[in-house]
Structure 1
Amino acid sequence: MIDGVAHIWAMNARDNVPHHATFANDLFTDLGPISVDGEVFEGFIDPDVFRLPDGGIGLAAVNGMRITGTPRQPGPICLMRSENGQDFETLQVLLDESGVQDPAVVVDNEWVLAAKVFNQQVIQLFVGTPDGGFEMTASVPGGDPDLVMESDGSIRLTVCGDGMLETHLSFEGRNWEPSEPIRSQTCGPARISGSDWMLHLPKPGQGGAIPSPGGIGAEPANPPPTISAPTGPSQQTLDTLGPAAFTPSLGETFEFTASDGIIYGTGALADGSSVELLLNLCIPDTGDEGPRPLLIHIHGGAFSSGQRASCSSQEEKRGVREAAARGWVVASIDYRLARDNPAPSVRVDSLLAAVGGSEGPALVRAFVAATDDTLTALDYLIANANELNLDTDRIVLKGGSAGAITALTVAYCTDKFGINRPPIAAVIDLSGVLTSSCDRGAVIGSGEPMLFVAHGTEDGGDTAFSNAVSIIDATIAAGITYEFHPLEDVSHIWDEWEETTADGRPIGQAIFDFLDRALFH
C-alpha cells in the first residue's frame, strides 16, 4: 500500500512478463510490464515485492532464463531495486540455487526468505542477508508462500494447504509454529502490506495473471487477483445440477472393467457409404453407489489421425484409466477423420455451411464431422444412462488438440448455429482453440459449461497460446467458473501426467481436483 493505493506485481498471462498494477476506488489499472535494466525482460517469473532497508522497492524473482537440467529446474532467485515500482535495476543474485520458485521476502534485522521446492509441495525457509548469504532454517509443507511482518514484530507465513490457506508464525525466521488457518479453497496468497487485504486466486495453480495494458480506467482483459472469497460455480450452471448421489474420489480407488468396440452410431461418407462409429467404455466398480458422472474423452490428431483410448491397456496414459479408477464412467470415442472423406449430417448443416459447405476440404469437413459424431455419442450414452448408471447432470467433455477443439465447439459453439445439444457440465481443454467460425472466445456466453484450460505458452500457429487467453478472457466476461494453467516453455504436444501446475501437481491430477470442486462441492 503506497499513499492509500494498493500496488500489485504479478505475471501477465498474455505476454508472460511481470506487470505492475494499482487498485484504488474499485478501479484496477494495469500500468504495463516492468522494465529490468532498461528493457522488458521476459525471463523473470514469480515476482515478490517488498520494502528495502533504504526505502526503495525490492523485487525478488526467479530467473527463468537459467532453467537447466533434466527435468528443467528453475532458479536462481534474483534481487532488483526500483524507486517507482516500474523501472528496476538488477542488484545481485539473492539465492544461487536451482529447483526453487515462488520466492517471498520480509526484511527485519535479518532477511527471511521463503521459496517453494520445484515439483514438490514443500516450502523452505532461509535467514541471512544478500551480502552474507542465507542458511536454510526450516521447511513446512505447502505451496505458493507469502511472508508478511505483523504489527507485533512476528512474521506470518501463509501457504497453500489441503483445502485451505495454512499459516505459521515466527519471531526470527528460524522456528515456526502453526497458526490459525484461513478456511478458503484458494491459492496464491499475497498480503498487501499496510492493509488488511489479501490477494488470492480462485483456484490453485491458476497463475497470478493480471490484465494487459489498457490505459488508466480501461476495462481489464482479465480481472485482478481475487480480493475476497473464491469464485464459485456460476449460478446458471449450479441451477442445472441436482445434488450428487455419488462423488468420485481424488485418488485411484475403484476397480474397473473395459468394454471396447461399442457401436454408438454410423457416419456418412462423401461417396455415399457409411462407417460404424465406435467407442470404448471404462466402467468403475462402485457397487450400489451411483449414478456416476460421465467423462467423454475425444482424441487428438489434427482431424487426420488418432483413435479412441482403452482402459484395458496398461499403456494408456490419457486420463482414461485414471478417471475410471476414481469412479468416473469414461467413454473414449472415435470420429470420422479427413481420410474418411466425411459427409456431416443434416443436424450440423449450419456449421458446415459456415466453413465451406459440403464441397469444402476433407480436413474442414472432418472438423464438422467430429462435432457431429460427438453429439451422436452423447445421444447414445444418455439413451443408455440407466443401464450405465450415469449422472446425466454431470457430463464432462475432455480433449487434447483436435479433441479439445471438438469439445469446445460442442459445448460453446453449437448454440450459435442453432444446433441442439444435451447439457454439458464442464469442458477440459488441453491445447485447444475455438475456431474463427465460432468467433474465437467471443462465442462463450453466461451459464455455459465450466472450463479447465491447460495450454503451452510456446504453442504456435493455429493453436497458438493467444487462443487460450482469448478463451479465458471470454470465460471471465461471461462469469463462468474456470481454471487456467499456462504451461511455461511448453509447445503443443505434452503429457498431462508429466507437465505440472505452478504449485507442482500433474495437470492430470489438477483436472480431477477442479472437477471435484466445481461439480461436487
Structure 2
Amino acid sequence: MKRYKAITFILLLLVPLYLYSGEIGKETLLFAVKDQQELNMDIYFSSSSCDTAQPCLIFVFGGGFKEGRRDAPQYDDYFRYFAGKGFTVVSIDYRLGMKGEKAPGIFNHKPLQQAIAMAVDDLYSATSYLIQHAEELHIDPSRIIISGSSAGAMTVLQADYERCNGREAAKVLPEGFRYAGVIAFAGSVFSKEGTPSYMTTPAPTLFFHGSGDKLVPYNKTRFFRLGVFGSKSLAGRFREQGYPYAFYTMEEIGHEVSEYPMKEFLPEIEHFIRNFVLDKKQWQLETSLKDKLRKSERSVDPGSYYN
C-alpha cells in the first residue's frame, strides 16, 4: 500500500510537465498602462489542466525594440507546446523604444539602453501582475520562467541581471522573489561595468545563439567597460562562477536562431526546464551543433536592420 501511494504521488508530480491536451484556451488581460499605451498579455492554458498552481512561462517577443507583436504566428508552436504540457504560458506586450531610431552602436547606445530599460520595466510589471493574481490564474509564483526572442531575449537576460544586482527597477518585484529560469533565443546583456557580474546567483539559464549572428553579438561588442555581451560571454561568466546553465551554439548560423529553436528544439527546451528548473540540477552544459543542411542568412546587421 505504501509503495502504491508513493508511485501515485510521483505520477501526480509529473502530470503538469507531461500532460498533453488538444484544447488550448487563450485569455487576454490588461496588465498596465504606460505612456498612454495599454499593455496586454495573452495567457495560454490547457483546458484539461487541474485547478492547481502551474509553472508559468512568460514570453517576450522579438523585433529589435522597434516592431513585433506578442501573438506573432511564428511563436504559436512554442506557446501551445508548453501550454499542452501543463504550463501557464504568458506572452506580453512592452513599449518599443527603438521605433524611428537609427542603428545602435558604441557611440550611439543611449536609445538602445533606454529601449532595453523600458522593456525590462514592462516585464517586471507583467511579472508583478502575475504574482498578485497568481491564485486566480492558478500560477505558482516560485516557478515563473522568463523567455524571449532577440530583443525579447535581451530583455529577459537584462531583467535577471538587474534583479540579481538590486537595481531600482527590480524593486517592483516582491522582496526575495527570483525567477525560476531564463530562456534566451539570441540575447545579450547591456553593461557599463564590463562583462556582467552577478551579486546574487542568477536563475538557471538556457542560451541559444548562432555563432554567425551579426545583429545581436554572439560573443560581445565593447568599448572599454561599455558593451553588449552576448551568449558566449555570459556563458563564460556562468561557467567561471559555477552557475547552472545550458548553452547551444549553432555554428555558422545567423540571427534566425532567435526563432527556429522554438519549433525544432522543443524537447531540448523541455529537458532544460525539467532538469535545471524543476529538479534544480547544478549542471553546466555546452553543445555545439553544425547543421550541414541549413543555409544561413548572415547578412543582417544593425545597419541594415534599422536603416
Task: Give unmatched runs, 5+ long, in structure 2.
Answer: 1-11, 101-106, 221-229, 280-307
Partner residue, 2:235: 472
Partner residue, 2:197: 443
Partner residue, 1:394: 143
Larger Rg: 1
Task: Give unmatched runs, 5+ long, in structure 1.
Answer: 1-243, 269-273, 342-354, 500-505
Partner residue, 1:55: none
* Equivalent pair of 1:458/1:490 in contact (CA under 8 Å): yes
C-alpha separation between the residues in 2 aligned to 1:264 and 1:303? Answer: 19
Question: How far 1:304 sits from its partner (Å)?
Answer: 0.6
Partner residue, 1:298: 60
Q: CA RMSD in A?
A: 2.8
One-letter amino acid of the structure 1 residue matched with residue 55 of structure 2: P
Question: How far 1:253 sits from its partner (Å)?
Answer: 4.1
How many residues of Structure 1 are paired with residues of Structure 2 in the alignment? Answer: 246
Matched, 1:427 2:189: no
Question: How far 1:281 sits from its partner (Å)?
Answer: 0.7
Alignment CA distance shift 1:318-1:256 (3 Å): closer
Instruction: Give SS of 1:338's match.
Output: coil
Matched, 1:324 2:88: no
C-alpha separation between the residues in 2 aligned to 1:447 and 1:414? Answer: 10
C-alpha separation between the residues in 1 aligned to 2:93 and 2:58? Answer: 11
C-alpha separation between the residues in 1 aligned to 2:215 and 2:209? Answer: 13
Matched, 1:496 2:260: yes
Partner residue, 1:365: 114
Alignment CA distance shift 1:251-1:453 (3 Å): farther
Question: How far 1:447 sits from its partner (Å)?
Answer: 2.5
C-alpha separation between the residues in 1 aligned to 2:255 and 2:56? Answer: 27
One-letter amino acid of the structure 1 residue matched with residue 155 of structure 2: T
Task: Report the TM-score, using the length of structure 2 for normalisation.
Answer: 0.71
Structure with the bigger percentage of helix: 2
Partner residue, 1:334: 93
C-alpha separation between the residues in 2 aligned to 1:356 and 1:489? Answer: 28
Matched, 1:509 2:267: yes
* Equivalent pair of 1:303/1:402 in contact (CA under 8 Å): yes
Percent identity (aligned): 25
* Equivalent pair of 1:293/1:329 in contact (CA under 8 Å): yes
Alignment CA distance shift 1:402-1:247 (3 Å): farther
* Equivalent pair of 1:404/1:433 in contact (CA under 8 Å): yes
Alignment CA distance shift 1:367-1:287 (3 Å): closer
* Equivalent pair of 1:277/1:335 in contact (CA under 8 Å): yes
Partner residue, 1:483: 246
* Equivalent pair of 2:186/2:216 in contact (CA under 8 Å): no
The CA deviation string for residues 431-462 of structure 1, in whole angstroms up to 9 with x for no partner, is 0011123644x323553200101100111254
Partner residue, 1:352: none
* Equivalent pair of 1:257/1:282 in contact (CA under 8 Å): yes
Question: How far 1:470 sits from its partner (Å)?
Answer: 1.0
Task: Report the TM-score, using the length of structure 1 for normalisation.
Answer: 0.43
The CA deviation string for residues 60-115 of structure 1, in whole angstroms up to 9 with x for no partner, is xxxxxxxxxxxxxxxxxxxxxxxxxxxxxxxxxxxxxxxxxxxxxxxxxxxxxxxx
Partner residue, 2:38: 276
* Equivalent pair of 2:64/2:98 in contact (CA under 8 Å): no
The CA deviation string for residues 270-322 of structure 1, in whole angstroms up to 9 with x for no partner, is xxxx1111111102234435210000000011111111027xx7x64451111
The CA deviation string for residues 350-383 of structure 1, in whole angstroms up to 9 with x for no partner, is xxxxx999xx53x442211101100000111111
Question: How far 1:473 sits from its partner (Å)?
Answer: 1.1
One-letter amino acid of the structure 1 residue matched with residue 78 of structure 2: G
Question: How far 1:463 sits from its partner (Å)?
Answer: 2.2
C-alpha separation between the residues in 2 aligned to 1:459 and 1:251? Answer: 35
Matched, 1:309 2:76: no
Matched, 1:264 2:31: yes
Alignment CA distance shift 1:302-1:284 (3 Å): same
* Equivalent pair of 1:496/1:508 in contact (CA under 8 Å): no
C-alpha separation between the residues in 2 aligned to 1:478 and 1:446? Answer: 11
Q: Which of 17, 39, 43 is residue 249 of structure 1 equivalent to?
A: 17
* Equivalent pair of 1:254/1:324 in contact (CA under 8 Å): no
